[in-house]
A and B are shown apart, each in its own frame.
Chain A
Amino acid sequence: MEDIEEFEYEPRSVKELFIEMKNIVELMVDLAYSSILFGDKEIAEEVLDLEERMDLLNYQMMVHAVLAARNVKEAEKVTSILQMANAIEDISNAAGDLAKMVLEGLEPHPVIKEAILESEEIIAKITVTPNSILAGKTLGELKLASNTGVWIIAVRRGKRWIFAPDKDFRIKPLDVLIGRGTHTSIEHLKEIARGVIRVVGHERA
């Protein structure tokens, strides 16, 4: 409960909160599957950290809800906000449970990894070679999501992890990108990262 004691009420709009919760919960599910696929405990830990962040956001959402009710009628309407906050928290807990499978060493059956690899959207590690056009560019410049259809959910740099990189994030040679996309788009990005394809959108090597 430490988080909650430290929490100061900051009037953020409900919409901002909702969007952040949506983004985090989606990231959590992606990372949770990645942690299982790669058997990676650090990714799993990150999922649990995000779960804590979600608890805080959820708490803020509930404060909004309580402040919004001034009478019985409004209180009834407010239950819908609580229902939503609860549901989002449940998804985040579910992602946390997936991550815990990795942390607790429950050896996944091989079909689980196969299933993750054969889903419509897969998760893959993509290593950026020094002569790739990606090296030295920011995600904003590359617009990877719209140009290749791959979302970068995390990056491994040496021993460090960077989660949910933003558009100002600059890719360096030998970065390992964790991307989510369809098989074709992942293959396409791998070729770019290897330096075989030299064009991304308007960016040319």
Chain B
Amino acid sequence: MKELEEIKDILIEMKNLSSLMIDLAFSSVMYNSEDIADEVYILEDKVDDLTLKVKKLALNAAKYEENPDKLLSIIEMATINEQISDSAYEIADLVLRDVEPHPIIRKIMHDVEEEIGRVKVNEGSILIGQTLKQLKLPTKIGVKILAIKRGTRYIYNPSKDEEIKEGDILIAVGSGIDRLRELSNEVEEEGEMFEEEEEE
């Protein structure tokens, strides 16, 4: 049945996204990163859409299913995933809120030089076409890639064989984020006007 195929694909995506969101939400607090909290916000929206979509599909599929009760588990699963995504957003929201965080929250945030960031891979970057294995980013520039956003897709915990493509957005953590920005040609592309503004 066509619906079931679609349901499966959406459930896969929802599971991937909710794991990614938990990770990013905690990271946004630990690294006090509005950038990452923003990403969680975008993902929450996406999960809401998917939840509604999968529930509609399940209801539709019930027409053909011999035992429609079984589809309940799909609706339950979607609801739970949506709860996880909502809660992840609540955590990330701490960073987005305009309230100055309590010193206690500050204590949670990393005191080290590590930071987290989104870096776009632009045309001409030497990263393009290389696998993570070839690049050895953690040892060479002290950066670990948590996820790659490619178009509307997220690759969570990318494997060593994942090849970086032009236009990828790398969500990375470490002490060498600035170096990663240089390697991905971000500074040149964005123009100088942003550069000074963004420095803290």
**Which residues of A are at the interface with B, using a C-beta cutoff of 8 A?**
13-15, 18, 22, 25-26, 29, 33, 64-65, 68, 74, 76-81, 83-84, 86-88, 90-91, 93-95, 97-98, 101, 106-109, 111-112, 114-116, 118-121, 149, 182, 184-185
Contact = CB atoms under 8 A, between A and B. Distances in A.
B136 interface: no
Chief secondary structure at chain A's binding surface: helix
Contacts of A95: 84
A84 B72 CA distance: 31
A65 B104 contact: yes
Contacts of A90: 83, 86-87, 90
Contacts of B93: 83
Chief secondary structure at chain B's binding surface: helix
Contacts of A101: 73, 76-77
Interface string B54-81: 0000000000000000111110110011
Contacts of B81: 94
Contact of A29 (B22, B72, B73, B159): B22
B12 A119 contact: yes
Contacts of A78: 102, 104
In this complex, the interface size class of chain B, counting residues with CB under 8 Å from chain A, is 35 or more
Interface string B81-105: 1011011101101100101111111
B70 A83 contact: no
A94 B88 contact: no
Given A15-B108, A68-B102, A112 B11 contact: yes
A80 B22 contact: no
B73 A74 contact: no
Given A74-B102, A84-B94, 18 more contacts: A14-B107, A22-B26, A25-B22, A29-B84, A68-B103, A80-B101, A87-B87, A90-B86, A93-B83, A94-B80, A97-B76, A97-B83, A107-B73, A109-B73, A111-B74, A115-B12, A149-B159, A184-B159
A109 B97 CA distance: 40
A87 B83 contact: no
A101 B77 CA distance: 9
Given A120-B16, A184-B161, A185-B159, A88 B91 contact: yes
Which 7 pairs across A and B sit closest by C-beta, in order of nearness?
Answer: A87-B90, A115-B11, A77-B102, A90-B87, A94-B83, A87-B87, A111-B8
> Of residues A91, A107, A109, which shows the largest number of chain B Cβ atoms within 10 Å of its Cβ?
A109
B134 interface: no
B157 interface: yes
Contacts of B11: 111-112, 115
A18 B108 contact: yes
Nearest to A118: B12
A87 B104 CA distance: 17
B8 A114 contact: yes
Contact of B15 (A13, A33, A81, A111): A33
Given A106-B76, A115-B15, A149 B160 contact: yes
